Amino acid sequence: MTNDVGIIERLKNHFAEGLETVTSIDQPTVIVPRGQLLAFAEHLKSVEGYVMFNDVLVVDWFPARPRFEVVYQVYQPETRQRFRFKSFVDESESMPTMTGVWAGANWPEREAFDLFGVVFDGHPDLTRIYLPDDWEGHPLRKDYPTGGNRID
Amino acid sequence: MGLNSAQKEVERGILLTTVDKMSHWAQKSSVWPATFGLACCAIEMMSVTSSRYDLARFGSEAFRASPRQADLMIVAGRVSQKMAPVLRTIWEQMPEPKWVISMGACASSGGVFDNYAIIQGVDHVVPVDVYVPGCPPSPEALMFGILKLREKIQMGLPPKYQEVAMARGGAS
């Protein structure tokens, strides 16, 4: 697996402002402003050919603001290259959904909502995927209690 | 003299017992577990029925896929909050009298999984008769637990859920 070394240069030329390169040892990584995220994703899929969506990951930087770092992993199956882009969002804000671009984003985004409480605007069915429907809170947040329930 | 010896001959072939003892013996000799493996403990539970350990010697090798045909539930592994209602339903579907073995550290106390997702001991969900320690317990340990349960049945002690009901003062 080789990395697409020129992609960050091309993306920076296309999106005049806002993209921030992140030093990374494994694959090209950029930070995208939340407002540009959808246009960026469309471009990545249709022009660069990253047609496969791998996962959404969330990092909770509590108590820093904005709190959540949302990480997207995508894959270009023809050249077998991977690409990562990130964006930041706070508790009170919401992310645009990627389901319109990659249908495979549906369940990973539900997982991110279930465990971190990140809201994805426009998601077709943003409900809990792992935990019971009546669960309170989002367990992977840093301010969620780590111990188990004490019933005795 | 002739009659006496004939009587002795007959008595040698008769075993006297009580109906209770007899039914307990029958009960303990065919404790059928429900197929209910939750985690790695289930691997040890499976091996206890295989040829090396051969649980068939004690009549418990028949794991039933339907709770209606089982009278022992071996909780083999950690129970998540989401699994708890399912486990409770399966236990309720088992015909009485029924017994529960909590196998391993996770089922008994939550084990290393001291977190939001795991029930800290399955006795919060169903009444447990025998706890088997270990992580995971070896097949010998589980077998020892089953033998203890057999002793309990032979002694005529009520299953834990009946004990609880009696302690609460209600009919069992």
* Closest by Cα among B29, B160, B154, B146 to B76: B146
CATH number at residue A90: 3.30.460.80
Whole-angstrom distance, CA of residue B90 vs CA of residue B165:
19
CB contact under 8 A, B114 and A148: yes
Which has the higher per-residue pLDDT, B14 or A31?
A31
Q: Is residue A114 part of a domain?
A: no
Please indicate if the annotation marks B135 as binding a ligand. yes
Residue A72 lies in a domain: yes
Residue A85 lies inside a defined structural domain of this protein: yes
- How do residues B16-63 score in pLDDT, each as one tens digit? 778 888 889 998 999 999 988 888 999 999 999 999 999 999 988 889
Q: How far is CA B141 from CA A54, B51, B104, in A?
A: 43, 16, 10
Q: Are B115 and A150 inside 8 Å of each other by CB? A: no
pLDDT of res. A151: 57
End-to-end CA distance of chain B: 54
Q: Is the pLDDT of residue B2 over 90?
A: no
* Contact assignment for A148 to B116 by CB distance below 8 Å: yes
Q: Does A132 touch chain B (CB under 8 A)?
A: yes
User: H or E segment at A116?
Assistant: helix A106-116
**Taking a C-beta distance cutoff of 8 angstroms, is the pair B124, B78 a contact?**
no
Q: Is residue B106 part of an annotated ligand binding site?
A: yes
Most confident option among A131-135, B13-17, B68-72: B68-72
Closest Cα partner for B149 from B121, B129, B165? B129
Which residues form the domain of A18? 7-104
In a domain, A97, yes or no: yes
Shortest CA distance from A136: residue in chain B: B116
Closest residue to A132, CB basis, from B82, B113, B124: B82
The answer for B 109-138 residues in CB contact with A (under 8 A) is 110, 113-120, 124
The CA distance from B56 to B32, in Å, is 10
Q: Which residue of B has its CA nearest to A134?
A: B82
pLDDT on residue B1: 54
The edge-to-edge listing of strands for the beta sheet with A29-31 is: A20-22, A29-31, A81-89, A68-76, A52-60
- Give the residues across from B101 on adjacent strands: B74, B130
Residue A143 in domain: no
User: Position A8: which residue type?
Assistant: I
Query: Which residue segments constitute the domains of chain B, with CATH numbers given?
Result: 30-167 (3.40.50.12280)
Note if the bond before B136 is cis, omega within 30 degrees.
yes
Summarised one tens digit per residue, pLDDT across range A27-51 is 899 999 988 899 999 999 999 889 9
In this structure, is residue A142 part of a structural domain?
A: no
C-beta separation of B36 from B75 below 8 A: yes
> Is residue A148 domain-resident?
no
Nearest CA in chain B to A131: B82
Question: Residue A132 is nearest to which of B81, B110, B124, comparing CB atoms?
Answer: B81
ipTM of the complex: 0.72
Q: Residue A33 domain-assigned?
A: yes
Low-confidence ranges of chain A (pLDDT < 50): none
Per the structure, the count of domains in chain A is 1
